[in-house]
Amino acid sequence: MTNIMVADRIKNLREQANFTQAALARKLGVTRSSVNAWEMGVSLPSTHYLKELASIFNVSADYLLGLDSSSTISVTGLSDVDVEMIYRLVLYIRLKNGENI
């Protein structure tokens, strides 16, 4: 695990969720400079904050730490038809990219 990998994942997830550093900091109860330090790779979040970040972004702590390269999409509350559409889209993208299914 490198600080840069964790930093990049936190920043990318934050941006995908359309959070500013300040907004994420408020959600976590930390300072904006703490979030900035995590994203710059200057420091790592504590175990407590890794757990909180994983929960906020619906990913595993292993994903944040670079131990698992897969991420998940929560389909909670979606209809069976919606879930099927997402599944087909993922399949289409994998086939388009030449992956063996």
CB atoms within 10 A of CB 22: 12
Give pLDDT, residue 50.
95
Closest by CA to 73, choosing from 94, 62, 53, 87, is: 87
Q: Does pTM surpass 0.75?
A: no
Q: For residue 25, what are the contacts with CB-CB under 8 A and spacing of at least 6? A: 31, 32, 34, 35
Tell me the CA distances in angstroms from 13 to 19, 64, 81, 96, 100, one per residue in order. Answer: 9, 9, 27, 25, 28
* Tens place of pLDDT per residue across the chain (101 aa): 578 889 999 999 999 999 999 999 999 999 999 999 999 999 999 999 999 999 999 888 998 998 877 767 778 898 999 999 998 998 999 899 887 76
Place of tokens 């994203």: 39
Give pLDDT, residue 21.
98
